[in-house]
Structure 1
Amino acid sequence: MNSKQQPDWWRYSATSWQQLLELLSELEPTTVGQCANKASWQLLGVGDTNTNFKLSLAHQDYFVQLVDQAKLEQLPSGEYASQTRLVSENPALSKWLPKCLLDTEVMRVSTWLDAKPTINQDFNNPDLVGELIRLLSELHHSELSLPELDIKKHLAKYYEIARANKNADPLRLEALYEQGQKLTGYFVASHSCHNDISPGNLLSGHQIFLVDWEYAAKSDPLFELAGIIFNFDLSDQQEKELVTEYRKQSGIKVDLDKLEAMKDLYRIISELWYTENEQSCRNLGK
């Protein structure tokens, strides 16, 4: 294989192809040629700003995430930062991440995990909840060099993008935005947070793993909790146990009125996101 030339089917940047080959030439020099075989690539899904693959070579499987440069404005900082490697190199957090092999502005490569997405029922397991809270406690108390999430700008950005959907109800969007603006007053960006803990990002195998750190930012830990409650559709009892364990382990105050406000704010942002991505979601479902 001519390592200078990407295959015809590669629709991503030439830079990402070269970076991948350079990495694999070091890791698997005898099998790097298999990288050009499209059959070695399994599409896992498309995220907000990326496309995810499982790359299977002779000796090792890899997780490869390719960044969509056109959607980077959705990130808290408005640009991609190599945050996965930043977090994976933190001694207190590294055990909850797969080994990061490459993290650049165009792609991310890590070792493959034999793990599955967590689901609502997993939150009935006190061991899993306890481990998740240990992770959150370490994360929220860590001093990571992350961008600060400006929640007002974040909300406004999603509102403007959602309005571009011609099928959306403009009155509904305006009502959501006005409600969200009132709730942003509760938000305080005070701790390092992941900001996108969802079934596809919280994986469970012999332990739990947290992946996709592209939304990581200095944020509000109660907004983080609200995201978990919303994304996993936790019952009142599951939510109570999560909050009780978080209070106990993290030492961070949980104001229940503020948590309710953060749940509403997270729901509004999620609805705006869905409106924005509605057509893409429909296409993926076909």
Structure 2
Amino acid sequence: MIDKVIKEIPQWQGKKISYTSLSGGITNLNYKVDVDDESFVVCISGAKTSLLGIDRDQERTINEATAKLGIAPQVVHSTDDGHLVTRFIEGKAFSEEDVRIEKNIERIAKTIRKFHTLSDFPWKFCSFRMIENYAKTAKDHGAQFPPQFSQMIEQMNKIEKALSNQPKKLCLCHNDLLSGNFIDDGTIRIIDWEYAGVGDPFFDTANFSTNHVFTNEHDKILLNHYLGKEPSDTDTAHHNLMKIMSYFREAMWAQVQMQISTLDEDFEAYRDKHFDRMSDCIDSEKFEEYLKAVS
């Protein structure tokens, strides 16, 4: 497939080309392609990724918009099959430990705030609807849900009802802020915009937090720099309720992957880990406090 994509790019023909596989992706296959003295990344779209809520035209358009802000790599080509070619960014790949350093939390928070200024896109991202869609897709493909699944849906509905009282301040969100999606070349760059859409900004802060197992102290640093001020009790509660939704989304994403993916990944372990973390949050005495705070 990588050879096929390379042959489809007119400006690369007749040039010296070599490529190597890039590690880290659990949805797609990624390659670094060297063309004469330039380097690119070719993302080969995974099988049936539309069932994960991914729209490749949407991804390309949002990537192009965030590249103009100096956040994402430049898009140089896309194929009819949904494979994406971007410029390779030479920089430091972040580890989870790097992301938990206070200075990096500050830098990433300010980068998130920068692309959160965008909102003029037709594509929406709602974690509640996403989980419902994942549940239907998984069920249609014969999935077996854990015994506590119906209770989790009930708690999700409580969160959505409580947050319905909050003003709707929607913006472009990345929705997949893993350490592997950050590159530091002196500026924080963010890659992989395949789940991006217009949604709740606190889902991004929460997703960033849950992906790196932030403590309360990490969360305070994040929210202070993201908001540019001390977070209110409502802000903190909103963020923490979205952390529950982030765990739920990750678990349900893995539930679908268990049914459709051809990649050699332990999606069941990934699902169970996030279901367990979600359950811990719901069982916490803080859960009801957060619901009251946003209500």
Bin the TM-score by the shorter chain: 0.7 to 0.9
Q: Deviations over 1:70-128 (max 9, x none)?
A: 221322xx6322434544345762x2222221234521111212234423332454432
Q: Deviations over 1:179-219 (max 9, x none)?
A: 22332332757111111111121223333210111111110
Say which is worse superposed, 259-268 or 249-258, in terms of deviation: 249-258
Instruction: Give the TM-score of the pair, scaled to structure 2.
Output: 0.74
Q: Deviations over 1:215-263 (max 9, x none)?
A: 1111000111110000011122111101111111799996222222111
Counterpart CA distance in 1 for 2:231 and 2:122 is 22
In the alignment, which residue of structure 2 is the partner of 1:68?
46
Counterpart CA distance in 2 for 1:121 and 1:46 is 19
Aligned residue for 1:81, secondary structure, equals helix
Counterpart CA distance in 2 for 1:162 and 1:101 is 34
1:108 aligns with 2:75: no
Q: Contact 2:119 / 2:198 at 8 angstroms: preserved in 1?
A: no
Counterpart CA distance in 1 for 2:234 and 2:86 is 35
In the alignment, which residue of structure 2 is the partner of 1:6?
none
Say which is worse superposed, 264-273 or 218-227, in terms of deviation: 264-273
> Judging changes above 3 Å, is the alpha-carbon distance between structure 1 residues 171 and 189 closer, same or farther for their aligned structure 2 residues?
farther
Indicate the percent of aligned positions where both proteins have the same amino acid.
17
Aligned mate of 1:24, from 6, 9, 12: 12
> Judging changes above 3 Å, is the alpha-carbon distance between structure 1 residues 159 and 82 closer, same or farther for their aligned structure 2 residues?
closer
Say which is worse superposed, 179-188 or 57-66, in terms of deviation: 179-188
Counterpart CA distance in 2 for 1:116 and 1:221 is 26
Q: Contact 2:23 / 2:30 at 8 angstroms: preserved in 1?
A: yes
In the alignment, which residue of structure 1 is the partner of 2:155?
179
> Judging changes above 3 Å, is the alpha-carbon distance between structure 1 residues 263 and 150 closer, same or farther for their aligned structure 2 residues?
closer
In the alignment, which residue of structure 1 is the partner of 2:251?
271
> Judging changes above 3 Å, is the alpha-carbon distance between structure 1 residues 207 and 145 closer, same or farther for their aligned structure 2 residues?
same
Counterpart CA distance in 2 for 1:221 and 1:244 is 14
Q: Contact 2:74 / 2:87 at 8 angstroms: preserved in 1?
A: yes
> Judging changes above 3 Å, is the alpha-carbon distance between structure 1 residues 53 and 264 closer, same or farther for their aligned structure 2 residues?
same
In the alignment, which residue of structure 1 is the partner of 2:20?
41
Question: Which structure is higher in RCO with an 8 Å CA cutoff and minimum separation 6?
Answer: 2
Counterpart CA distance in 1 for 2:50 and 2:194 is 10
Note the residue ranges of structure 1 that are not aligned, 5 or more in a row: 1-9
The two structures, once aligned, show a CA RMSD in angstroms of: 3.3
Aligned residue for 1:63, secondary structure, equals strand
Aligned residue for 2:33, secondary structure, equals strand
> Judging changes above 3 Å, is the alpha-carbon distance between structure 1 residues 127 and 260 closer, same or farther for their aligned structure 2 residues?
closer
Counterpart CA distance in 2 for 1:237 and 1:251 is 13
Q: Contact 1:133 / 1:249 at 8 angstroms: preserved in 2?
A: no
1:97 aligns with 2:68: no
Say which is worse superposed, 200-209 or 181-190, in terms of deviation: 181-190
Q: Contact 2:110 / 2:225 at 8 angstroms: preserved in 1?
A: no
Counterpart CA distance in 2 for 1:138 and 1:271 is 28
Q: Contact 2:175 / 2:207 at 8 angstroms: preserved in 1?
A: yes
> Judging changes above 3 Å, is the alpha-carbon distance between structure 1 residues 121 and 150 closer, same or farther for their aligned structure 2 residues?
closer
1:53 aligns with 2:66: no
Q: Contact 2:115 / 2:172 at 8 angstroms: preserved in 1?
A: yes
Counterpart CA distance in 1 for 2:127 and 2:144 is 23
In the alignment, which residue of structure 2 is the partner of 1:149?
125
In the alignment, which residue of structure 1 is the partner of 2:110?
134
Aligned residues: 260
> Judging changes above 3 Å, is the alpha-carbon distance between structure 1 residues 23 and 195 closer, same or farther for their aligned structure 2 residues?
farther
